[in-house]
Amino acid sequence: MKILVADKISPTGVEYLRNQDGLEVIEAYGSSPEEIQKLAVDVSAIIVRSETKITPEVFAVAKELKVVGRAGVGVDNIDIESATENGVIVMNTPTGNTIATAELTFTHMLCGARPIPQASASMKAGKWARKDFSGSELRNKTLAVIGLGRIGAEVAKRAKAFDMSVIAYDPFLTSSRAKALDIKVVELEDAFKHADYITVHMPLTDTTKYMIDENAFDLMKDGVRLFNCARGGIIKETALINAVKSGKVAAAGLDVYESEPLSEDHELRSLDNIVLTPHLGASTKEAQESVGIEIAEAVFDVISTGKVINAINAPSVDAKTLQELQPYLTLGEKLGTFIQQLSPNQIVSLKITYWGKITNLDSLPLTRAIQKGYLLNISGQNTNDINAPLKMKHLGIEVEVTKSSIDCDYTDLIQIEAVLNTGNSLTLSGTILGKGLPKVVNIKGRDIEVNPNGQLILLENIDTPGIIGSVGQILGEHGVNIGNMTLCRSEESGGTALSVYELDSQPCAESMDKIHALDNIKNVTMVRL
């Protein structure tokens, strides 16, 4: 077997591979796309960092390829869809750069407090301008950590050592986890309003894109300091530039950008009180050593034993079991994503119950698929079947699984109950019908059959005439076609009705506002699957 190491990783990792019997290691650093395609023809595995792109063209020719391993977290340089289509596992190393990124973030914070890079540049230019570089102390300042995952928690720990007051915004963090970290959790607006320093540690998703924009800056204190070593696009760069120019932001530090590499003429480069680094989050000797060894061992496990860890696009099951589970894995992920969008941000636990013949199958991959689905809109696309349970644990959400032997109305049934911190709960159930067709069959205790695909509007209203017609008219006026509609009514006259509209396209904000404004509407929820 052959392994292509396309980007330079830790020599210890390469040496580990060379010591394996029957394995040929090809080191091809700095190869062109054309050279990578030629080398990939007969390899079993490819290891990359961020430089080499593994494109559909590579997957098309690499007929023996089983796994692509990324020595790092981000997999933007690997075409995940093409890998999946070609049956290739994509793996990463999600924990190896935690300390490195946390320390870089804190380095940026210190440079924002004391203008060390600017003072150094002045000194090297032959100047002695002590009065030009007055700074500020971190002690007794308030730091807002936006996103309290692994890296955010490490930054918070270091801030406390500097006698900073730490607050955090993380809509999915439970109170028990916050208490364990000894951190006060606040709403996002309060984080903006009260912080002297703000650091970002969120994944880039539809929800977090431009989370910090013009409106956010308007809420902040004058002279706030802002730092992002997470993902470009969370901070709107044009808004940041204007905020720096106006004095709203006294200093900023960025390691990531909306478009990378940052263009030579980008205006961010011209602002003296912004410190820029070229995406160095994982660029420490220790982090590279860690991820290099980790990915070498993980990739070899895949091609030698079939063991899979930290897979982006595949569950950790053998081929035969995967074939049996596949329809349920699809259903489980859909149900997880569905109930996350139905639930408030903070829940205490997910209670998962299985009925029917699926109780005889290995439920662990299915349970992980449900957790992955629940986290997709929270933790981003790096969430996978392997790391989903750990991410749930970090959020303080318990997962309870029951296999029931009691008869139910279906051959197989999956029910998910989201338990809220108020003690209340809501449920969602689904099954497989016909030839592997997933269906939602109960929402919030109401029997209703829904296809869990695309754009859905869930409407709860007082059961009065005209609601369905009004909704259809509003959607039609805005060019949205209703593919299907199902309705569940209360038995009593004038009770509450639940209807689900399956749409061919996403409705605009204006049409949703109009639906919300209709008389007798109790609740409107948009679900995207």
| Tokens 């109950």 found at | 417
**pLDDT band at 321; cut points 50, 70, 90:** low
Regarding whether 73 and 115 lie in a shared domain, the answer is no
The more confident residue out of 480 and 386 is 480
Look at residues 450, 485, 503 and tell me which one is the last residue of a structural domain: 450
User: Residue 485 sits in which domain range?
Assistant: 453-529
87-108 pLDDT per residue, tens: 789 999 888 889 999 999 999 9
Q: Could you tell me the CATH number of the domain that includes residue 47?
A: 3.40.50.720
| 198-207 mean pLDDT | 90
Question: What is residue 275's predicted lDDT score, i.e. its pLDDT?
Answer: 97
CA gyration radius for the chain? 26
| 383-401 mean pLDDT | 83
Catalytic residue from among 70, 231, 368, 394: 231
The more confident residue out of 387 and 405 is 405
| Burial (0-12, 13-18, 19+ Cβ within 10 Å), 367 | buried
Residue 159 forms part of a structural domain: yes
Catalytic residue from among 189, 214, 260, 477: 260
Look at residues 395, 426, 450 and tell me which one is the last residue of a structural domain: 450
Say if residue 50's pLDDT is above 90.
no
Residue 342 forms part of a structural domain: yes
The whole-model pTM stands at 0.71
Closest to 102 (Cα-Cα) out of 62, 54, 155: 155
Question: What is residue 494's predicted lDDT score, i.e. its pLDDT?
Answer: 66
Domains of the chain: total = 4
Question: What is residue 74's predicted lDDT score, i.e. its pLDDT?
Answer: 77
Regarding whether 105 and 138 lie in a shared domain, the answer is yes
| 481-501 mean pLDDT | 87
Regarding whether 234 and 130 lie in a shared domain, the answer is yes
Q: Give residues with Cβ within 8 angstroms of 242, minimum separation 6.
A: 214, 217
Report which residue type is found at 141.
K
Regarding whether 153 and 86 lie in a shared domain, the answer is no
Regarding whether 462 and 429 lie in a shared domain, the answer is no
Closest to 460 (Cα-Cα) out of 425, 514, 497, 495: 497
Regarding whether 440 and 370 lie in a shared domain, the answer is yes
Question: What is residue 316's predicted lDDT score, i.e. its pLDDT?
Answer: 56
Look at residues 450, 479, 500 and tell me which one is the last residue of a structural domain: 450
Q: Which residues pair with 459 in a beta bridge?
A: 499, 524
Q: Which residues pair with 200 in a beta bridge?
A: 146, 228
Q: Specify whether 231 is catalytic.
A: yes
260-312 pLDDT per residue, tens: 999 999 999 999 999 999 999 988 999 989 999 999 999 999 999 877 878 88
| Burial (0-12, 13-18, 19+ Cβ within 10 Å), 126 | exposed
Closest to 500 (Cα-Cα) out of 478, 519, 523, 517: 523
Question: What is residue 364's predicted lDDT score, i.e. its pLDDT?
Answer: 84
> CA-to-CA distance for 16 and 300, rounded, in angstroms?
9
The more confident residue out of 436 and 483 is 483
Regarding whether 345 and 440 lie in a shared domain, the answer is yes
Regarding whether 401 and 297 lie in a shared domain, the answer is no
Regarding whether 269 and 122 lie in a shared domain, the answer is yes
Residue 310 forms part of a structural domain: no
Closest to 97 (Cα-Cα) out of 170, 201, 14, 17: 201
Catalytic residue from among 279, 294, 333, 394: 279
Regarding whether 337 and 240 lie in a shared domain, the answer is no
Say if residue 318's pLDDT is above 90.
no
59-95 pLDDT per residue, tens: 999 999 999 999 988 788 999 888 877 878 999 988 8
Regarding whether 423 and 372 lie in a shared domain, the answer is yes
Q: Could you tell me the CATH number of the domain that includes residue 515?
A: 3.30.70.260
Regarding whether 341 and 200 lie in a shared domain, the answer is no
Residue 168 forms part of a structural domain: yes
